[in-house]
Structure 1
């Protein structure tokens, strides 16, 4: 065990150890590639440091290790890229920075709302879909991180065993309580693939507590991101994260470098009429940073949001989105109610009202059902149908 890890144990009064299993030990012994995912946050940095020393003890060659960072663009703290570079240099391994070719996190939110409006106009969705990711739809981590890092590693190290080292801890949330130490990752290297590439995910510090992680930073002399020490954030992700607490959102607004991003995201709230988080408007976190014009736009958006929710709540519940939507053609009365509710929402967003009457709505539902049934016949009923976010 390394000196740094021994000191961490002494400081915390506990004995946190690097979690591993026979599959990881074998991968290390056979010279697998280890890719350390760095976000700039405390968990990824400490995970990489502790795992590096654990691998050193096993004699794993350092030249078969790499750090990787998925750059989320404007959504990041401005200091994050530099922090990631600092940690990679301290680890003494090369850094691979990857980016989503279709645009950054902010562009993804904007694209989602634009797509949602187009589909709502075409009556391909029952309710208007907002721009933001959420706890149940975390495309921020899937599309802009995993779906970018995974293929990049699979291409770079084709034919190898690749271990992605990620700093998830069970203490972080109830959803992570059952995080495994190791799992096979078939998303980007399916079993029996032509290149014979194997991918695994390893969570070395899965049983560590926050106090262990912070003590480890102190013991190893690892720097902490400014979000923690300068601004009091409890975690690091995007500067403004859809999963952040009110306190962490407030912490982000105290950094002047985040002010333009803050106003831009509030502008998306104003345009879309969807709050950044369910029940919490980002605009309310630091209203003193908003211009008078933007504050007025937010007030109007909040009113429009209440109106939209009331209108959608009054639409027939039996026709709400389910897998394979739509379930049936509305009745005449239902069609009229849907058309009336949609007209207000469409007008608010400057969209064309292509189905302004109950009869037009019913005809559109009938066309959607016909198209779905035709697809089902071709695919054996395996398609999920329309209405997916």
Structure 2
């Protein structure tokens, strides 16, 4: 039967101690390797300070590192230096990893090119947004998890590795369900030692550590620090970020992708509306045109019936003649709006494409 998590004291501080399951405690007692993920933000900063303090207290003798996944130009200038200062402060090695195909901005741009190509070749029914979303956070999975995990597996050869993150339940409804620790394969354990801390306790821990938090909190006025412009940011944070000169090249590049794709950065919220004064006149005009295209595209795609939409394993059947005619009409309209060179714009070619896809699926 699963044993309950325990809470270890804060070692003389008024902020709480770290939470750990007996499984994590057993691994630490066995000198398991510990990799503490750091981003430069407050939660990973506090998690690192509290975890290292706890490891020292229990006499942990296994290897430890801090690990940072650099997301490229979307990160604040101070984020990597903040991680470096934290590593020096804690007397630990900092491992920096990066996605080989580029940072998050490059991933968003590549995703748009892929979406365009998939639409032109009728490999999807409707256009797919280029941006990550709260429900589809490939920014975390692809640029952090899928980069960090292989590195710690390569670096540490032991039977178990503990991957520490600063996730807190108070951050969001989704994270409210976070457990103290979990494992998918029995070797990599995800440990969330400050999962029950409040934001105030996080800052109290940082202030007590003697190392100030990322300047974006108290100098720039940000409530959270991750990417300069984050899919999870509120309006105030987006405006605070746009006021910083260092963020403006990224801002203009992101707005250009909004205009090129006709997809707003945060669903219904256009990043280009946050600080239009720092855009050139042609960029503002392009954004206005993108909004017009977005409305027309959405109206066209809403005519596609639910049984025709993309689902797992698509296509599941041939379309009727009427459905093929409707899809051809919508594809011609959307392709014209966005300047796509799409194929499969009439009934016969759409039937042929579906037959080809069904044949490929059957062969696979």
Contact 1:239-1:252 within 8 A present in 2 as well: yes
Shift of 1:185: 3.9
Distance in 2, Cα, partners of 1:271 & 1:294:
11
Distance in 1, Cα, partners of 2:265 & 2:335:
21
Question: Within 5 A, what are the aligned runs for 1:148-187?
Answer: 148-186=147-185
Residue 213 in 1 paired to residue 202 in 2? yes
The residue that corresponds to 2:13 in the other structure is 7
Between stretches 177-186 and 248-257, larger displacement belongs to 177-186
Distance in 2, Cα, partners of 1:352 & 1:253:
35
The residue that corresponds to 2:238 in the other structure is 249
Structure 1 unaligned runs (5+)? 10-15, 192-197, 376-389
TM-score (norm: length of structure 2): 0.95
Distance in 2, Cα, partners of 1:84 & 1:129:
35
Residue 313 in 1 paired to residue 302 in 2? yes
TM-score (norm: length of structure 1): 0.89
Show CA shifts across 1:70-106 (max 9, x none): 0000111121111111111111100000000011101
The residue that corresponds to 1:110 in the other structure is 109
Distance in 1, Cα, partners of 2:204 & 2:267:
35
Question: Within 5 A, what are the aligned runs for 1:14-93?
Answer: 16-61=16-61, 64-93=63-92
Q: Secondary structure at the match of 2:19?
A: coil
Specify which of 255, 264, 269 is matched with residue 266 of structure 1: 255
Shift of 1:144: 0.4
Shift of 1:374: 2.4
Residue 301 in 1 paired to residue 307 in 2? no
Measured on the aligned residues, the alpha-carbon RMSD in Å equals 1.7
Contact 2:166-2:195 within 8 A present in 1 as well: yes
Between stretches 171-180 and 95-104, larger displacement belongs to 171-180
Residue 123 in 1 paired to residue 122 in 2? yes
Contact 1:33-1:160 within 8 A present in 2 as well: no
Residue 97 in 1 paired to residue 96 in 2? yes
Residue 363 in 1 paired to residue 362 in 2? no
Contact 1:2-1:53 within 8 A present in 2 as well: no
Show CA shifts across 1:335-359 (max 9, x none): 1121111112223333223112122
Contact 1:227-1:251 within 8 A present in 2 as well: no
Contact 1:5-1:216 within 8 A present in 2 as well: no
Contact 2:68-2:95 within 8 A present in 1 as well: yes
Show CA shifts across 1:55-80 (max 9, x none): 1110113x711000000001111211
Shift of 1:5: 4.7
- Runs of 4+ more than 4 Å apart: 1-5
Shift of 1:328: 2.1
Distance in 1, Cα, partners of 2:99 & 2:111:
15
Specify which of 324, 327, 330 is matched with residue 313 of structure 2: 324
Show CA shifts across 1:147-186 (max 9, x none): 0000000011123421111100111111111211111242
The residue that corresponds to 1:378 in the other structure is none
Show CA shifts across 1:250-282 (max 9, x none): 111121100010000000001011000111000
Q: Secondary structure at the match of 2:174?
A: helix
The residue that corresponds to 1:345 in the other structure is 334
Specify which of 271, 275, 281 is matched with residue 264 of structure 2: 275
Distance in 1, Cα, partners of 2:302 & 2:285:
26
